[in-house]
Chain A
């Protein structure tokens, strides 16, 4: 760590000689330390899933939600600092409200992703501020169907069929690439999302975690909502079984 960035990482308003802004890259590192968050856009909706790492057994189950609602039909799952996340979610709510009060229709995913991207990007320009240590995954259904966007600490925003951020993003991405997202339904995607979060979870590093699952689909009346308990239980059971099967196969290979 001693040699990297020497002198050029003190401010976001300074480039390094090879054209990098180190503070933004460090913000990305903050994201990479966080529990995994993924989004899947399938044919009839979008699913968000988060590996919520718990630092204590004393936490009340289902508290400190990491998936939040920005507008009735817009869900936000994040990887990174929760305090920054809450600020960005508030911003997203304000943007959605402002769009709605001007145009009297709910904000399209493309527009809110752009506005959030612009906002996050502004925090990479001035020496007096620090970039957000958050990758924001934004899910919604608008008039053009299911939408999924991810906004990086740099302010870059891209639309995805499936995306991942946080600790397990490499594992998650390879798993997502194996899925046939065009054909999957949300009901199936919920299970796959649970399986991917369980697969990306590293039991050696973080023992305690909780799976958070939400969706936007016809079944939720096109609203963003956490999945019902029965659906969550079913997904967790599926994920655990898939994990056990995987272990069995590995043992067979060893023999």
Chain B
């Protein structure tokens, strides 16, 4: 006869999957989110902009977020989407940077390597049906050449002279197509700033998750520079003539 056994409370395990619980599910929605990142190549390297807002749904919850990360000497990462997933990615990259530093082999992580790493993580997580809810822009100078790449929660990636995430893909890309594409290496820093601010202004007017406090960042041969937050000049005098939005 079998001995009588019983489960102690701490050995009881909740079943991971049971018909009554329905299918297992992972994070199905982001919590604190950042909106668009706009980026493009210009004469001296690459330039990006993103605002400082971490939204909680439609609530402007955190208004002093930094959505950029410098990765090594010549790479910049811009993030939109879930901010905690961005923090997770930052920790992964810090760990990578540390282990590379420890190797002490005189080599440093290039922009393309960082881009490949970020892309692989994004694609790997989507294959686990547990994606990081972000769209990333990786930019920098790799072997003297400007590089700009995109990776998102589906593991989709592409490289282009002009990249914008989120709402920016609809509102900023047409502007960048007209003003940047095909002439990236003619654009001076001053013009690049003007183009970037124009894109961000359009987004500020039309994207309800945008915020008038933003950072600009650039990567040039001199390295990575992330600006302090600044505000854009806006003109709302025509606002009362805008119709068709329920007003």
Partner-B contacts on A (CB < 8 A): 65, 68-72, 93, 96-97, 100-101, 104, 223, 226
A69 touching B91 by the CB < 8 A rule? no
Q: Which residues of B contact A (CB under 8 A)?
A: 91, 95, 98-99, 101-102, 104
**Residue in B98, B99, B104 whose CB lies within 8 Å of A65:** B104
Contact of A70 with B104 at beta-carbon distance under 8 Å, contacts A97-B95, A101-B91 already known? no
The reply to whether A226 and B91 form a contact with Cβ atoms under 8 Å apart is no
User: Do residues B91 and A97 form an inter-chain contact, with CB atoms below 8 A?
Assistant: no
A101 to B94, CA, bound (A): 10
Determine if B104 and A71 form an interchain contact, defined as CB atoms under 8 angstroms apart. no
> By the criterion CB–CB under 8 Å, are A72 and B104 in contact?
no
Cβ B98 vs Cβ A68 within 8 A: no
Instruction: Report Cα–Cα, A97/B99, bound state, in Å.
Output: 9
CB neighbours (8 Å) of A226 from chain B are 104
State whether A71 touches B91 (Cβ < 8 A).
no
Q: Which residue of B lies closest to A62 (CB)?
A: B106
Could you say which residues of chain A place their CB within 8 Å of the CB of B99? 93
- Cβ of B29 to closest chain A Cβ, rounded Å: 25
Docked pose: A168 CA to B237 CA in angstroms: 81
Among A70, A100, A101, A104, contact of B102 (Cβ-Cβ < 8 Å):
A70
Chain A residue nearest to B94 (CB atoms) is A100
Residues in A with CB closer than 8 Å to B95 are: 97, 100-101
Docked complex Cα distance between A245 and B99 (Å): 43
Which residue of the partner chain A has the closest CB to B102?
A69
Main secondary structure of the interface of B (DSSP, over half): helix
A71 CA / B99 CA spacing, docked (Å) = 8
**Interface-central residue, B91, B101, B102, by most chain A CB under 10 Å:** B102
Contact B104 A97 (CB under 8 A): no
How long is the Cα–Cα vector from A72 to B100 in the complex, in angstroms? 10
Nearest-CB distance from B80 to chain A (Å)? 23
Q: How close is B214's CB to chain A, nearest CB, in angstroms?
A: 27
Is A68 in contact with B91, judged by CB distance below 8 angstroms? no
A93 and B102 within 8 A (CB): yes
CB distance from A2 to the nearest CB of B (A): 44
Contacts of B98 in A (CB 8 A): 71-72, 96-97, 100
- The CA-CA distance from A72 to B101 in the complex, in Å, is 7
Question: How far apart sit A223 and B104, CA to CA, in the bound complex (Å)?
Answer: 12
A223 (CB) vs chain B CBs: closest residue: B101
B-chain residues with CB within 8 Å of residue A93 when the two chains form the complex = 99, 102
Subset of 24 A-B contacts with CB under 8 Å: A65-B104, A68-B102, A68-B104, A69-B101, A69-B102, A69-B104, A70-B102, A71-B98, A71-B102, A72-B98, A72-B101, A72-B102, A93-B99, A93-B102, A96-B98, A97-B95, A97-B98, A100-B95, A100-B98, A101-B91, A101-B95, A104-B91, A223-B101, A226-B104
For B99, the closest partner residue in chain A by CB is: A93
A69 vs B100: C-alpha distance when bound (angstroms) = 10
**B101: A residues at CB distance < 8 A:** 69, 72, 223
Roughly how many angstroms separate A101 CA and B98 CA in the complex, as a whole number? Answer: 12
For the complex formed, measure the closest distance between the CB of A51 and the CB atoms of chain B, giving whole angstroms: 19
- Distance of A124 Cα from B98 Cα, bound (Å): 31
Interchain CA distance A97-B91 in the complex, whole Å: 11
Shortest C-beta distance, A47 to chain B (Å), equals: 17
Give me the 8 closest cross-chain CB pairs, A-B, nearest first.
A69-B102, A72-B101, A72-B98, A69-B104, A93-B102, A69-B101, A97-B95, A71-B98
CA separation between A65 and B103, bound complex, in Å?
Answer: 11
Query: What's the Cα separation between A226 and B103 when bound, in Å?
Result: 12
**11 additional A-B residue pairs with CB within 8 Å, beyond A96-B98, A226-B104:** A65-B104, A69-B101, A69-B102, A69-B104, A71-B102, A72-B98, A72-B102, A93-B99, A101-B91, A104-B91, A223-B101
Q: B105: nearest residue on chain A (CB-CB)?
A: A65
Q: In the complex, what's the smallest C-beta–C-beta distance from B219 to chain A, in angstroms?
A: 20
Q: Which residues of A contact B102 (CB under 8 A)?
A: 68-72, 93
Look across to chain B and name the residue whose beta carbon is closest to the beta carbon of A90.
B102
B-chain residues with CB within 8 Å of residue A72 when the two chains form the complex: 98, 101-102
A71 / chain B contacts, CB cutoff of 8 Å: 98, 102
